[in-house]
Homo-oligomer: A and B are copies of this chain.
Amino acid sequence: MSKSRRSERMVVITRLLSQKPHTLFSLNFFSRMFNVAKSTISEDLNIMRETCEKWGIGELTTVPGAAGGVKFIPRLSREETEELVDFLQQELSREERILPGGYLYMADLIYNPQIVGKAGRLLATIFQDKKPDYIVTVETKGIPLALMTATAFNVPLVIIRANNKVTEGSAVSINYVSGSTKRIQSMSLARRALPPDSKVIIIDDFMKAGGTARGMQDLLQEFRAETLAIGVMVATAEPKDKLVSNYISILDLVSVDTDKKEVKIVPGKWYSQ
């Protein structure tokens, strides 16, 4: 293959690193791929590192030594973060979203690839010091956000089911009390879904009292998993004392007034830090 131009290599490397974040690529790999000297690749990666930093795209980490190389860690820039939080705050405040019982209709937002894509990168940015082996969620509405968080970390997603399914083999089930409705519910996870002693981050769309998240933590303990953190799109401000403590919410829902048709929603505590 003929030698490639730098601008061409930049396109291909950017695309590859974007699609495989947190993955180590050696200089040799790129050198063979493009048929150019390692020193040339090294210059390419320096430009890329500066560009990623300058534009807030993410971080290009260099791992030195013979087994070394570079890996790309995607980030949501401060500008994109503000844009996302403003957008969600405005959207979720719209009175048309208020449903009977004081619920908010969120499906169009939490199922939108662009929005959950950014929200997933945001959670991965907030939890950037954590090194999860898995992202865990419970069916159904948290799945898109959890998958996008797993994509940003480039780790597998594990989905806890509300009931045990024949297509998943032997499973561990627990009963838990939903913190808000006080009803007893069950959730179940296939034995083979999670190796023992895994480190996980729990992701969900919504948290009220935290009963579901607590149930997930209890179920995960049956797998000797360590929960590094919990991240949700929206948590309600009340009750203030949740059944779990180590959670981050992108937004906090302060109140829904079904009579006045008013929603008060604010960025989570992480935002001002």
Contact = CB atoms under 8 A, between A and B. Distances in A.
Given A8-B47, A47-B7, A167-B103, A18 B20 contact: no
Contacts of A14: 10-11, 14-15, 18
Contact of A161 (B10, B44, B140, B190): B140
A126 to B, nearest CB: 18
Interface in A5-31: 5-8, 10-12, 14-15, 18-20
Contact of A112 (B104, B116, B157): B157
Given A6-B7, A14-B15, A139-B139, A99 B47 contact: no
Contacts of A192: 105, 108
Place the interface of chain A in its size category.
35 or more
Given A5-B47, A167-B99, A11 B10 contact: yes
Contacts of A44: 7
Interface stretch (A51-59, A82-90, A215-223, A252-260): A51-59
Given A19-B117, A107-B168, 7 more contacts: A7-B7, A8-B54, A12-B55, A99-B167, A105-B190, A140-B161, A143-B143
Given A105-B167, A107-B159, A113 B12 contact: no
A241 to B, nearest CB: 23
17 contacts: A6-B7, A7-B47, A8-B54, A11-B48, A11-B57, A100-B169, A103-B167, A105-B167, A107-B193, A111-B147, A111-B156, A112-B157, A114-B154, A139-B139, A140-B143, A144-B147, A147-B148
